[in-house]
Structure 1
Amino acid sequence: MSTLTLRQAPPERLDLSGLTPARLAGLSEAEAARLPIGTSRRGLVLGDCFALSLDGTEDLRIVGGSDRLDRVGAGLARGTVVVEGDVGQRLGEGMTGGAIRVSGAAGPFAGTAAKGGTIAVAGDAGASAGGALHGAMGGLDGATLVIGGRAGERLGDRMRAGLIVAEAAGDHAGARMIAGTIVAGAVGDHPGYGMRRGTLLVERHGALLPTFVETGTQDLVFLRLLAKALEPVSARFAGLARARLARRSGDLATLGKGELLTPLG
């Protein structure tokens, strides 16, 4: 496994989008050390901030995290990126395969536009995890995003496909969803605001929009399949998918083909 060890706290935000295992595998340590990662006029390169140990494999470990490490794993197609610590914004942006594991917290927009692969964040995640960047047409687009802690507001904003699992989330979870599935414990007010399609499965929630209407209970085959998919991620949430659930349809202010599922009682 190749290793990048952070020498000290970064003096500015760093763009690590070019540091996929496949990219580093074809470089010597001297060549990799010259890769630009700075975002200011300082012109920082990889060797300025990290000690490098490259072995040519498709596994990369980053030791010593920081909320200034942006776009970690962006564009990842295969292999594994493991971060020991925190990361900044846009974790795994646009990835199509492989796996990213973060032992700490992640900044805003984790998993944005990710089409494949798995992203696992052990700690909290910032606003719009799995959501669309400002001006973008969609957020998470087929990947799996697992957040062990609390996600911020607008979890899965404009999500197009895929699965998000979070321990908890702030207000407007699933806002403007186009499709996909979000499973969470407690979420804040107005989940599903403006959602067109998709599924929100939550244990409990804050205030609901009046544009969600009760549709009773249904025995949905989709939920059995979802429970199976959740088993390796969370036995608790797999059990939630198998429970008797109340269903609300919405957001009727838009297309209204989304659904909010919560335990009965």
Structure 2
Amino acid sequence: MSVLTLREAPPERLDLLNITPLALSKLSEAEAAKLAVGTSRRGLTLGDCFSVKLDGSDVLVIEGGSERLDRVGAALSEGSIRVAGDVGQRLGEGMAGGTLTVEGHAGPFAGSGATGGIITVRGDAGDHAGGAVYAAKAGLDGATLVIEGRAGDHLGDRMRRGLIVAGRAGAFAGARMVAGTIAALGVGDNPGFGMRRGTLLLGSHGALTPTFVETGTHDLVFLRLLARSLRTLSAAHADIAAGALRRYSGDLATVGKGEIWAAA
């Protein structure tokens, strides 16, 4: 297990895009300490901010966190990264595989563009978790994003593929979804705003837009399979899928092939 221990609160935002178990396995500790992570003219290196202990394994632990640690695990394709603390924006952005776990909170755009692997945030996540960053075509794109705490507004905005499981979330959850599944214990107003396809499974929700139409209650094999798959991630979410649900179809202002399943 390789370990990076944060010395103190970073004096600037740090970009940890290329700090992965695979990249570090090819370097000595001295070489790894020289990797550039700063985002200003100071030219900060990994060794300036962290004590570095490497053993060449596919497991990396970052001891100590900060909301200034950006793009943690963004280049992860195999192995695992665990952060004992908070992280900043774009956690696991574009991640292709492996497991990424944050024991604290995450900033905005967690999991944006991630195509594979599992991202777990034990605490809360900021706005646009699983959503598209500015000028990007899609948000989450095949990975699994689990937020055990609360997510902000625009959860899964323009999500294309994959699964998001969240405790509670703010307004506009699943807005502009292209496809994929979002399961949440509760969300704010306007869930599914502008969604084209995809599925929202909600324990509770705020006001729906008038472009969603209720289609009644149904007993479908799909819901049983969804409950079974969610059981490995969260019993509370699986119980929602296994219970009585009311279906809403929309957003009819767009393609209208999306659906919201809400606890009856």
Measured after TM superposition, the shift of residue 21 of structure 1 is: 0.4
Measured after TM superposition, the shift of residue 220 of structure 1 is: 2.1
Residues of 2 paired with 1:251 and 1:24: CA distance? 46
**Equivalent position of 1:141 in the other structure:** 141
What's the CA shift string for 1:174-230, capped at 9, x where partnerless? 000000000001100000000000000001111110000011122222211111111
Residues of 2 paired with 1:257 and 1:194: CA distance? 11
Task: Confirm or deny that 1:74 pairs with 2:74.
Answer: yes
* 4+ residue runs over 6 A deviation: none
Residues of 1 paired with 2:55 and 2:141: CA distance? 32
Residues of 1 paired with 2:153 and 2:195: CA distance? 15
Unaligned segments of structure 1, at least 5 residues: none
**Equivalent position of 2:98 in the other structure:** 98
Residues of 2 paired with 1:99 and 1:39: CA distance? 26
What's the CA shift string for 1:18-51, capped at 9, x where partnerless? 0010000000000000000000010101000000
**Equivalent position of 2:195 in the other structure:** 195
Residues of 2 paired with 1:112 and 1:223: CA distance? 26
Task: Confirm or deny that 1:87 pairs with 2:109.
Answer: no
Q: Secondary structure at the match of 1:230?
A: helix
**Equivalent position of 1:225 in the other structure:** 225
The one-letter code sitting in structure 2 at the alignment partner of 1:155 is: L
Measured after TM superposition, the shift of residue 239 of structure 1 is: 1.1
Task: Confirm or deny that 1:252 pairs with 2:252.
Answer: yes
Q: Secondary structure at the match of 2:259?
A: strand
Q: Secondary structure at the match of 1:119?
A: strand
Residues of 2 paired with 1:105 and 1:82: CA distance? 13
Q: Secondary structure at the match of 2:200?
A: strand
Residues of 2 paired with 1:221 and 1:159: CA distance? 24
- Report the RMSD for the aligned CA atoms in angstroms: 0.6
Residues of 2 paired with 1:263 and 1:103: CA distance? 30
**Equivalent position of 1:153 in the other structure:** 153
**Equivalent position of 2:113 in the other structure:** 113
Unaligned segments of structure 2, at least 5 residues: none
Q: Secondary structure at the match of 1:216?
A: strand
